[in-house]
Structure 1
Amino acid sequence: MATPVVTKTAWKLQEIVAHASNVSSLVLGKASGRLLATGGDDCRVNLWSINKPNCIMSLTGHTSPVESVRLNTPEELIVAGSQSGSIRVWDLEAAKILRTLMGHKANICSLDFHPYGEFVASGSQDTNIKLWDIRRKGCVFRYRGHSQAVRCLRFSPDGKWLASAADDHTVKLWDLTAGKMMSEFPGHTGPVNVVEFHPNEYLLASGSSDRTIRFWDLEKFQVVSCIEGEPGPVRSVLFNPDGCCLYSGCQDSLRVYGWEPERCFDVVLVNWGKVADLAICNDQLIGVAFSQSNVSSYVVDLTRVTRTGTVAQDPVQDSQPLAQQLPNPSVPLRRIYERPSTTCSKPQRVKHNSESERRSPSSEDDRDERESRAEIQNTEDYTEIFQPKNSISRTPPQRSEPFPAPPEDDTATAKEVAKPSMAMDVQFPAPNPEVPPQPPVTTSTPAPKGDPAIIPATRNEPIGLKASDFLPAVKIPQQAELVDEDAMSQIRKGHDTMCVVLTSRHKNLDTVRAVWTTGDVKTSVDSAVAISDLSVVVDLLNILNQKASLWKLDLCTTVLPQVEKLLQSKYESYVQTGCTSLKLILQRFLPLITDILAAPPSVGVDISREERLHKCRLCYKQLKSISGLVKSKSGLSGRHGSAFRELHLLMASLD
């Protein structure tokens, strides 16, 4: 008799390079558990399908790092808040910017979509909570009461309440219709990082940096129970869809809790580090974590996890039911939310506790929305997931079968599944000769697909680009097949030339990498400059910009002339890299340069001091040359204008 294959309870699914710089926020789509949105220090929002290596869509428009992102329940809208306090809403199905919302004075720390109405709540480091009507681009209400940054916001399942968690150790509950605070829940002794409503009952869970999870009764407004002894700060919690238990994403483990009485049903070891968000689909829990520019996804098979004492049949796991003393979870202990059948009514404005912040759309707003773009990176995945609105129904593929678990004893297979193939080492993005360097994205070759089934209905025709789309309209319909062939031949015309250019750049990057392995950063930069290929310099600076400790004064003398070239480039990403490098140099070395140049001459001969003085003079001369260019570009609008204005202020001491 064959021995049954034993599979893992938890495993790593994939690791991707999500942004060109550090990832600053991410969120999973809760309806599907298969859609992932990431925000980065590169001011972009990137959209991914879990377990696929390529970015679906990249959203631009923010001019400062994206601090918070959130998908709405149908996963067709996304909202992102930035470090500067601006908020942007995109329509993913239409692939366009929907709204730009301005009003906060500091970082946007938390966002949430109303479950029924077209409203968005935002919490900021300025301690304010704002409710926005995204149809009219206006602030409906401002809630004030927290004394520190608002870290998490959640609407109740019926859409009538809003829960907020903040660094001031408190959780507050707001009545949207009345426009006032209903209750405050004190008790935590550290910043509260996350709150979640029970999916059915009047119950709220909150997780804090004090390593506790507290459960609050929303009828009696009092604590139900408190779970202590978490291995670290609580950053992510999630109720099971049927409300039987709460999952807590701890450091390198998943814990399953009940609250009446408080107890831990199960602990599953998962090497996900500091997991940032959780979602459930097909009896699998998906967890995502980020570190620097990388995002990793993990899967836990919930059929092998104890939840209120019930666990699936498992030939190798002998678990004892733990919920014999507990009440039947199907019989609610509290009042149940009543979901409205229509969209919610607009929250009332209370004169004594609100401010009129509605603004008419201005030309500045229109310009912001013109400069914000939704760039489709993967047409096939985009078309598959975000089907057009005139189709019969939106059936995203992420609702399909569960992720297959690797065999428990086959670590090689698990790694192979988790890590897509890459053309080059992650540190050096794949070369592209004419298009400026974009965020490095791992690639894999798709498996060949069979011919799709023929569906005669016109509205079910596949959406996407055909070869004939690249050519002028043809008058003779009988020649359609020939037109496609002609189109393909035209597309292939530059293929050989492109391959030659890519091969050349690949060789150049290999040369720089060989020097890099010696550990001499200055020599690596010199070799990149000597190649006279600005794209290679950009690739190298994108690495150096992520680690300021690698920079030395003599490196600045080599880099500054290249920065001047980048700032004058026609490529957006070249200009962005140049601004980042110049900002780093100004912050780290400009005070040193000005101090050394202002110091009185030394007595005697000090060779090392003379060398340092020579380098400072050279850097000062180069910076003075660049300052005129920065000043001339500081009047630009959009992201670049903002970056150049910041650089102009930093360079003020040169005058």
Structure 2
Amino acid sequence: MATPVVTKTAWKLQEIVAHASNVSSLVLGKGSGRLLATGGDDCRVNLWSVNKPNCIMSLTGHTSPVESVRLNTPEELIVAGSQSGSIRVWDLEAAKILRTLMGHKANICSLDFHPYGEFVASGSQDTNIKLWDIRRKGCVFRYKGHTQAVRCLRFSPDGKWLASAADDHSVKLWDLTAGKMMSEFLGHTGPVSVVEFHPNEYLLASGSSDRTIRFWDLEKFQVVSCIEGEPGPVRSILFNPDGCCLYSGCQDSLRVYGWEPERCFDVVLVNWGKVADLTTCNNQLIGVSFAQSNVSSYVVDLNRVTRSGTVVQDPVQDSRPLAQPTLSGPTIRRGYERPATACSKPQRVKQNSESERRSPSSEDDRDERESRAEIQNADDYNEIFQPKNNISRTPPQRSEPFPAPPEDDLAIAKEALKPSQAMDVQLPLPNRGSSDFVPRLPVATSTPMPKAEPAVIPATRNEPIGLKASDFLPAVKMPNQSEMVDEDAMSQIRKGHDTMCVVLTSRHKNLDTVRAVWTTGDIKGPRAGHSPSPRRSLWKLDLCTTVLPQIEKLLQSKYESYVQTGCTSLKLILQRFLPLITDILAAPPSVGVDITREERLHKCRLCYKQLKNISHLIKNKSGLSGRHGSAFRELHLLMAPLD
């Protein structure tokens, strides 16, 4: 009798060196599940075909690390946001830059393409959400409401709403047409990192670092259920295309959840570490993760995963006892009303009609002239991006799923042939429905992939623009917008940094003074017969100039211990240095050059100025009652020589 072939449930597909430096972001194409885009600290966006070792193209233009990338559903446009706050959109078919969008003041944390219109949403560490019109290169709306970085943005399947998740523990739902917030969902106790719309129903899922996944009803605007007990922070979630379940990419595992009631259908062990993105293709789930400059991809065979209470029939394990499937009822929520037709993508500059061509001086024409495309893998590029027979390109769809590697471990094969015992997933949830799952051990094989230099496609940047608000849907003509070059944008970003530089310079000076004092001996050593306190021999004019501004802050503190420390320190300085300061300032000018005396005179003048500032504060507080009042009156008397 022939030995049956053992099929794996999860396996490692490949590992590639994606960038010359660390990978900072990556995303899978949701249309085909076969396209992968990565952003790196080398300021590049590289494009890959899943399970192929060579880079298809490398897009340049950003001048800072790429923090977020996103492909549109037809996988013909890609948008990338950088650490500096700039956003760039590339046309993958034409292998050129399409738009440059400027307006955010901090890192771009999240991006998403509108499913039907020519719009892109961006969320930033500056807490703002912006909606961009790619055709007009302008900001349509700015949504303000979050108080911390916006980590994830998702458009609803019908294109009417936008969901946002942020570090302020909240999820917000925005009405794009009205340009305002519809509802705010509170309940997470940690930063919310990801949100996803149900593909068919008015349902929203959100995952947080508090290790929970919450489901929100978008008709009643209330929580439906909450999945607790995740092994770590929730980084990636994905609804099954038919909406029967939700996949959660956990640390080294995939979990399959239902929400009415909340329950776990299955757990599949996958050695993918911290998975960054998920998608489905040909009834397989593709997951990608990155570490330093490497990107790894993994496959889970969904035919062998329990979903929505149905039981997986394993051809090798037909004889094992099967659990009774759970029948799912009709949906209890409304479905999305999608438009009959989708909007076309932004038109490229080069048109067939002479009347539609722009002048050679336009920005897009200039970018088209200056852009170069060096395709290293022409076959891959033509297969994915080039339409055949002048027919519009469709997303790359393949009927064949990724093949599982053959099982080469006989012991594991025999173990897989044994009937598995059903186990109930223990979730600390109220009214949890019981379901069975079969734990499976993944056998991930890693095939060394040759390191290849990516084909570089330099893309010239469009000049960034000034942005004005307009209506979302009506395509009205935008007024002339003021142009802004990169130097002006950087100068605006640098505003306010001068103050920080002054503060850091002052701190550096103070640290140098303390270090110089520290090297002379034990700065906190006690004197004989006295309680531990700074040695008087260590108090010099240099130390006084550093300490006096801090004493002034202590005297204004609301904490009693701080005020007491300030009074004690000021009294010590007045007793030791005030006579010296007044004598040096009152002495006649010296004859000749005496550098040491000039330095001492400069320090005395600085101390005198600082003491005068403090004397006004002491005078105002000398009228207080109690212990502090007497201390301030004593200091006021000691500072009388200053007048």
Please, what TM-score do these two structures have when normalized by structure 1? 0.59
Q: CA 1:176–1:586 in structure 2 vs 1: closer, same or farther (change >3 Å)?
A: farther
Q: CA 1:66–1:3 in structure 2 vs 1: closer, same or farther (change >3 Å)?
A: same
CA apart distance, 1:391: 2.7
User: Is the deviation greater in 439-448 or in 153-162?
Assistant: 439-448
Q: CA 1:394–1:51 in structure 2 vs 1: closer, same or farther (change >3 Å)?
A: same
CA apart distance, 1:406: 1.5
Q: CA 1:106–1:510 in structure 2 vs 1: closer, same or farther (change >3 Å)?
A: closer
Q: CA 1:611–1:173 in structure 2 vs 1: closer, same or farther (change >3 Å)?
A: same
The CA RMSD measured in Å over matched residues stands at 20.7
Q: CA 1:444–1:3 in structure 2 vs 1: closer, same or farther (change >3 Å)?
A: closer
Q: Secondary structure at the match of 1:24?
A: strand
Q: CA 1:228–1:442 in structure 2 vs 1: closer, same or farther (change >3 Å)?
A: closer
Q: CA 1:105–1:502 in structure 2 vs 1: closer, same or farther (change >3 Å)?
A: closer
Tell me if the contact between 1:596 and 1:616 (Cα under 8 Å) persists in the aligned partners. yes
Q: Secondary structure at the match of 2:162?
A: strand
Tell me if the contact between 2:420 and 2:438 (Cα under 8 Å) persists in the aligned partners. no
Give distance in 2, aligned partners of 1:317 and 1:502.
68
> 1:46-80 CA deviation, whole Å, 9 max, x = no partner?
00000000000100000000000000000000000
Q: CA 1:445–1:149 in structure 2 vs 1: closer, same or farther (change >3 Å)?
A: closer
CA apart distance, 1:408: 3.2
Tell me if the contact between 2:196 and 2:206 (Cα under 8 Å) persists in the aligned partners. yes
Match of 1:590 in 2: 578
Q: How does 1:396-545 map to 2 (within 5 A)?
A: 397-410=396-409
Match of 2:329 in 1: 328
Tell me if the contact between 1:159 and 1:344 (Cα under 8 Å) persists in the aligned partners. no
Match of 2:621 in 1: 633
Q: CA 1:211–1:632 in structure 2 vs 1: closer, same or farther (change >3 Å)?
A: same
Q: 2:594 aligns with which of 606, 619, 632?
A: 606
Structure 2's unaligned 5+ residue stretches are 525-532
CA apart distance, 1:394: 2.6
CA apart distance, 1:328: 2.7
Give distance in 2, aligned partners of 1:546 and 1:318.
82
Q: CA 1:316–1:111 in structure 2 vs 1: closer, same or farther (change >3 Å)?
A: same
Q: CA 1:231–1:127 in structure 2 vs 1: closer, same or farther (change >3 Å)?
A: same
Tell me if the contact between 2:11 and 2:443 (Cα under 8 Å) persists in the aligned partners. no
Tell me if the contact between 2:8 and 2:442 (Cα under 8 Å) persists in the aligned partners. no
Q: Secondary structure at the match of 2:356?
A: coil
CA apart distance, 1:341: 1.6
User: Is the deviation greater in 378-387 or in 638-647?
Assistant: 638-647
Tell me if the contact between 2:253 and 2:267 (Cα under 8 Å) persists in the aligned partners. yes
Tell me if the contact between 1:248 and 1:254 (Cα under 8 Å) persists in the aligned partners. yes
Give distance in 1, aligned partners of 2:169 and 2:102.
27
CA apart distance, 1:379: 1.5
User: Is the deviation greater in 80-89 or in 571-580?
Assistant: 571-580
Give distance in 2, aligned partners of 1:462 and 1:285.
39
CA apart distance, 1:495: 54
Q: Secondary structure at the match of 2:481?
A: helix
Asked if 1:197 corresponds to 2:197, the answer is yes
User: Is the deviation greater in 163-172 or in 481-490?
Assistant: 481-490
CA apart distance, 1:293: 0.1
CA apart distance, 1:292: 0.1
Give distance in 2, aligned partners of 1:367 and 1:641.
74
Q: CA 1:559–1:14 in structure 2 vs 1: closer, same or farther (change >3 Å)?
A: farther
Q: CA 1:266–1:440 in structure 2 vs 1: closer, same or farther (change >3 Å)?
A: closer
Q: CA 1:591–1:410 in structure 2 vs 1: closer, same or farther (change >3 Å)?
A: farther
User: Is the deviation greater in 644-653 or in 174-183?
Assistant: 644-653
Give distance in 2, aligned partners of 1:92 and 1:639.
75
Q: CA 1:307–1:168 in structure 2 vs 1: closer, same or farther (change >3 Å)?
A: same
Q: CA 1:177–1:376 in structure 2 vs 1: closer, same or farther (change >3 Å)?
A: same
Q: CA 1:580–1:27 in structure 2 vs 1: closer, same or farther (change >3 Å)?
A: farther
Q: CA 1:22–1:349 in structure 2 vs 1: closer, same or farther (change >3 Å)?
A: closer
Q: CA 1:420–1:377 in structure 2 vs 1: closer, same or farther (change >3 Å)?
A: farther
Q: Secondary structure at the match of 2:264?
A: strand
Tell me if the contact between 1:57 and 1:376 (Cα under 8 Å) persists in the aligned partners. yes
CA apart distance, 1:453: 28
Tell me if the contact between 2:228 and 2:428 (Cα under 8 Å) persists in the aligned partners. no
Q: How does 1:102-141 map to 2 (within 5 A)?
A: 102-141=102-141
Q: CA 1:278–1:611 in structure 2 vs 1: closer, same or farther (change >3 Å)?
A: farther
Q: 1:581 aligns with which of 546, 550, 569?
A: 569
Structure 1's unaligned 5+ residue stretches are 523-544
Tell me if the contact between 1:140 and 1:358 (Cα under 8 Å) persists in the aligned partners. no
CA apart distance, 1:400: 3.2
Tell me if the contact between 1:18 and 1:440 (Cα under 8 Å) persists in the aligned partners. no
CA apart distance, 1:174: 0.0
CA apart distance, 1:380: 1.6
Tell me if the contact between 2:513 and 2:542 (Cα under 8 Å) persists in the aligned partners. no
Tell me if the contact between 2:385 and 2:393 (Cα under 8 Å) persists in the aligned partners. yes
Q: Secondary structure at the match of 2:111?
A: strand
Tell me if the contact between 2:155 and 2:161 (Cα under 8 Å) persists in the aligned partners. yes
Q: CA 1:363–1:393 in structure 2 vs 1: closer, same or farther (change >3 Å)?
A: closer
Tell me if the contact between 1:308 and 1:322 (Cα under 8 Å) persists in the aligned partners. no
Q: Secondary structure at the match of 1:644?
A: helix
Match of 1:79 in 2: 79
> 1:210-232 CA deviation, whole Å, 9 max, x = no partner?
00000000000000000000000
CA apart distance, 1:170: 0.2
Sequence identity percentage: 90
Tell me if the contact between 1:272 and 1:298 (Cα under 8 Å) persists in the aligned partners. yes
Match of 1:100 in 2: 100
User: Is the deviation greater in 483-492 or in 16-25?
Assistant: 483-492
Q: Secondary structure at the match of 1:480?
A: coil
CA apart distance, 1:4: 1.1
CA apart distance, 1:443: 18
Give distance in 2, aligned partners of 1:595 and 1:423.
91
CA apart distance, 1:242: 0.3
Q: Secondary structure at the match of 1:390?
A: coil
Q: CA 1:451–1:19 in structure 2 vs 1: closer, same or farther (change >3 Å)?
A: closer
Q: Secondary structure at the match of 2:277?
A: strand
Q: CA 1:342–1:440 in structure 2 vs 1: closer, same or farther (change >3 Å)?
A: same
Tell me if the contact between 1:67 and 1:107 (Cα under 8 Å) persists in the aligned partners. yes
Tell me if the contact between 2:97 and 2:460 (Cα under 8 Å) persists in the aligned partners. no
Q: CA 1:449–1:79 in structure 2 vs 1: closer, same or farther (change >3 Å)?
A: closer
Give distance in 2, aligned partners of 1:68 and 1:186.
25
Tell me if the contact between 1:61 and 1:372 (Cα under 8 Å) persists in the aligned partners. no
Q: Secondary structure at the match of 1:609?
A: helix
Give distance in 1, aligned partners of 2:567 and 2:363.
23
Q: Secondary structure at the match of 1:289?
A: strand
Tell me if the contact between 1:108 and 1:123 (Cα under 8 Å) persists in the aligned partners. yes
Compare CA radii of gyration and give the structure with the larger one. Answer: 2
User: Is the deviation greater in 492-501 or in 400-409?
Assistant: 492-501
Q: CA 1:51–1:313 in structure 2 vs 1: closer, same or farther (change >3 Å)?
A: same
Q: CA 1:203–1:478 in structure 2 vs 1: closer, same or farther (change >3 Å)?
A: closer
Q: Secondary structure at the match of 2:600?
A: helix
Q: Secondary structure at the match of 1:142?
A: strand
Give distance in 2, aligned partners of 1:644 and 1:377.
78
Tell me if the contact between 2:371 and 2:459 (Cα under 8 Å) persists in the aligned partners. no
Give distance in 2, aligned partners of 1:517 and 1:225.
62
Give distance in 1, aligned partners of 2:261 and 2:91.
44
CA apart distance, 1:30: 0.6
CA apart distance, 1:441: 25
> 1:477-515 CA deviation, whole Å, 9 max, x = no partner?
999999999999999999999999999999999999999
CA apart distance, 1:164: 0.1
Give distance in 2, aligned partners of 1:565 and 1:232.
43
User: Is the deviation greater in 208-217 or in 602-611?
Assistant: 602-611
Tell me if the contact between 1:84 and 1:107 (Cα under 8 Å) persists in the aligned partners. yes
Give distance in 2, aligned partners of 1:619 and 1:381.
73
> 1:333-364 CA deviation, whole Å, 9 max, x = no partner?
x0000001235799999999999999999999
CA apart distance, 1:31: 1.1
Tell me if the contact between 1:371 and 1:638 (Cα under 8 Å) persists in the aligned partners. no
Give distance in 2, aligned partners of 1:636 and 1:442.
75
Tell me if the contact between 2:147 and 2:168 (Cα under 8 Å) persists in the aligned partners. yes
Aligned residues between the structures? 629
User: Is the deviation greater in 416-425 or in 492-501?
Assistant: 492-501
Tell me if the contact between 2:375 and 2:456 (Cα under 8 Å) persists in the aligned partners. no
Give distance in 2, aligned partners of 1:555 and 1:338.
73
Tell me if the contact between 1:430 and 1:440 (Cα under 8 Å) persists in the aligned partners. no
User: Is the deviation greater in 497-506 or in 311-320?
Assistant: 497-506
Tell me if the contact between 1:157 and 1:337 (Cα under 8 Å) persists in the aligned partners. yes
Tell me if the contact between 1:17 and 1:293 (Cα under 8 Å) persists in the aligned partners. yes
Q: Secondary structure at the match of 1:38?
A: strand
